[in-house]
Structure 1
Amino acid sequence: MNIGILLKEGPYNHQASDTAYKFAEAAIAKGHKVDAVFLYNDGVTNVNKLMDPPQDDRHIADRWSKLSKQHGVEVLACIAASKRRGINDDILIEGGEITGLGTLTDIAIRNDRLVTFGD
């Protein structure tokens, strides 16, 4: 099964980022293809490479970058939501990309499922 993910929450103020990442890992482990993760609203802050959590905490931006590098998952941030939150190409994680909202429609069309995390 081909899966797209929509993530609408920031990395440390809501469980959605952790849950979406764990879902992606589990889906890949079961042989499914996670095609893309589209970040919308506060979700775009997940790709900020400037986040610097304490050593004993998880590094959510690094997780998304690793998922992209290891499994070819596109990690895409909505341009409008990114601009509102000061996210630009200079602070994107490796493997992250800023794109238009129309890409979300493409993800929904080309995949068997679009799974949404966050409010």
Structure 2
Amino acid sequence: MAQLVLALHSFDDSASSPSYRSLLAYHYAQAAVASGHRIDMVFFYQSAVRFGADDCTHPLTDKWLELSASHNIPLVLCTTVAETEYGLNETRICSGFHHGGLTEFAQATALADQVVQF
């Protein structure tokens, strides 16, 4: 089975975005692990880093955390975006997410069979 890396770029807030890419990404991840594939990382970039905020109440945050815990999937927030755009330093992120950079993302993608971007 395939080794996958997922990159999520959007935080779908119904008040500001008609897109449902974050939900699609989550369902894709569920289907991938159910099919026997391994997800080596979910990388949250751009506005998607908001899923990792300690005060985030988006229902998908809990779902990502459950999927991560069940299948040992690292949930990585882009450090630069999280800190500079949203003020999410290490003390303001939800337990279960961690900071990482584009270097960590690049290393994971180099080892992956497929990278899927949402």
Using structure 1 for the length normalisation, give the TM-score.
0.87
What SS class does the counterpart of residue 65 from structure 2 fall into? helix
Moved more, 86-95 or 39-48: 86-95
The aligned residue for residue 111 of structure 1 is 112
| 1:75 positional shift | 0.4
- For 2:22 and 2:108, the matched residues in 1 are separated by 19
Q: Which runs of 5+ in 1 are unaligned?
A: 54-58
Q: Which runs of 5+ in 2 are unaligned?
A: none
Report sequence identity in percent: 26
* Contact 1:4-1:111 within 8 A present in 2 as well: yes
- For 1:104 and 1:67, the matched residues in 2 are separated by 19
What SS class does the counterpart of residue 70 from structure 2 fall into? helix
The aligned residue for residue 78 of structure 1 is 78
Number of residue equivalences: 112
Using structure 2 for the length normalisation, give the TM-score.
0.88
What SS class does the counterpart of residue 65 from structure 1 fall into? helix
CA RMSD of aligned residues (A): 1.3
For residue 54 of structure 2, the aligned residue among 25, 28, 49 is: 49
